[in-house]
Every structure is written in C-alpha cells, then in structure tokens.
Amino acid sequence: MKNDNLNERTIKITNGNLKSHHIYITAVRDMLPADVLGGSTKEQESTTKILVKFNPGPMVETDIPKGRNFFRNRAGIKEFFERANIKENDLIVIKKLGTHRFSIFPADPIG
C-alpha cells in the first residue's frame, strides 16, 4: 500500500510475516539503496547496511539477501511484532529517515 508521502509506505502484515518474522518490502524497494543488496547466504551479506529503528523495539542493521523480498535481520522484527502486539492484517509504516536510515512502527488505526 502506498501513502501520499514519498518517504513513507504502509504495509499489511500477513500470517506468513508473523510466523517467519519478516516484513515483505516490495512496496518500499524503490526507497532502499542498491548498495544494501547482499548475496543469498549470511556469508555473502552486504558490507553496507541500513539502520532500522523499530518502535517499539530495537535498532538493527540489516541488508537484503539476493532473491529475497525481506530484510535479512529478523530478530528485530520478531521483537517488534511481540512488543507492538502486531496481528495478521495489521498495518505498519516504513518511513525513510535518510539514505540508509528507516523507522518501522504500527500504523495509526484511526488514520
């Protein structure tokens, strides 16, 4: 789901996201720098990372594995889902704060 704001996108959480502790990033691919694409294995991760602040939750560094549609670092996502009590069909916001800095937080249910 796209917002009017070019630096912010809303994403609907699926049951698969909750089970696998990931967030599909299709809607934000154009906001992500190309230099954070790593190889398909942990040993091939990109040396350049993005910094993601989960609210509530931790701040993590991550890249994007080749051929995947989510952030490699899933520990922060799991904690965010738990602390924010995210459920299937909930909306979250990914906001670009800088070229390599992002914030992820629950969408305001009132809008």
Q: Reduce the DSSP state of residue 63 to 3 states and report it.
A: coil
Q: Can you give the pLDDT of all 111 residues of the chain as single tens digits?
A: 545 567 999 999 999 999 999 999 988 999 999 999 888 888 888 899 999 999 999 999 999 998 888 898 999 999 999 999 999 999 999 999 999 999 999 998 665
pLDDT value of position 100: 96
Q: Reduce the DSSP state of residue 111 to 3 states and report it.
A: coil
- Rounded alpha-carbon distances, angstroms, from residue 15 to 18, 55, 63, 75, 89: 5, 20, 23, 17, 8
pLDDT value of position 83: 96
The answer to whether 101 touches 60, Cβ cutoff 8 Å, is no
Class of domain 8-106: mainly beta
